[in-house]
Amino acid sequence: MTVPEKLDAFSKQLAEIAKGLLMLGLGLLGMAYFWPKSCSNDTQPKASMSEASQPSQSPDAPSQAPAIETSAGLLWRDYQRNEVSADSKYKGKILSVRGKLVAIKKNFSDDAYLVLETPNEFETVLANLQKSELPNASTLVPGTIVTVICRGGGMTLGSPMLNDCAIQ
């Protein structure tokens, strides 16, 4: 092989390596997009069984604040129309969200979450479950209507997030 031929072969190998690294990077970005962050705090002990079925309250939250009732579709539409307004209405607040169950999944840290249907098939509402809800989640069937009590978690990459959820 002549020197120019060796250089040509070497540059082709470098191009293949660069393509592979690019694909790996895109794959990692895709995983970060589709795996919701689990925001449940399991390092604090639960005081009683009745508290375990309700989302945990922050110390400054009113203990008897009623849940804001909404549907997965309306929650998604509110965030699509105006994320700032929707955050002020839902983020950090206790929500009762009703919707059609698309899937029951686990994220990379083995935490269960529910995928709820919205008018856009590519953007869903993600409900991160409390660890104590795993037995309940295992009995759910996609296509059924579910209600979850959660703390609003804002929006991540087009999908409203619900955290610390209990299945009703």
pLDDT of residue 35: 55
| Domains of the chain: total | 2
DSSP string, 110-136: S-EEEEE--SSTTS-EEEEEPGGGHHH
> What average pLDDT does the segment 147-153 reach?
97
Asked if residue 39 is part of any domain, the answer here is: no
Considering the domain architecture, whether residues 120 and 163 belong to the same structural domain is answered as yes
Asked if residue 43 is part of any domain, the answer here is: no
Asked if residue 139 is part of any domain, the answer here is: yes
The answer to whether residue 48 scores a pLDDT higher than 70 is no
Asked if residue 3 is part of any domain, the answer here is: yes
Considering the domain architecture, whether residues 158 and 104 belong to the same structural domain is answered as yes
The answer to whether residue 53 scores a pLDDT higher than 70 is no
**Domain coverage including residue 147:** 65-167
Residues forming a β-bridge with 125: 116
pLDDT of residue 45: 34
Considering the domain architecture, whether residues 26 and 104 belong to the same structural domain is answered as no
Asked if residue 40 is part of any domain, the answer here is: no
Tell if the pTM clears 0.75, that is, is over it.
Answer: no
Considering the domain architecture, whether residues 4 and 85 belong to the same structural domain is answered as no
Count of CA atoms in the C-beta half-sphere (13 A) of 35:
13
pLDDT band at 29 (very low <50, low <70, confident <90, very high): low
pLDDT of residue 8: 76
Count of CA atoms in the C-beta half-sphere (13 A) of 110:
0
- Domain CATH for 135: 2.40.50.140
Asked if residue 44 is part of any domain, the answer here is: no
Asked if residue 86 is part of any domain, the answer here is: yes
pLDDT band at 30 (very low <50, low <70, confident <90, very high): low
Considering the domain architecture, whether residues 23 and 76 belong to the same structural domain is answered as no
d(CA 111, CA 18): 34
Asked if residue 105 is part of any domain, the answer here is: yes
d(CA 159, CA 7): 48
Torsion of CA 79, 83, 88, 92, to 10 degrees: 70
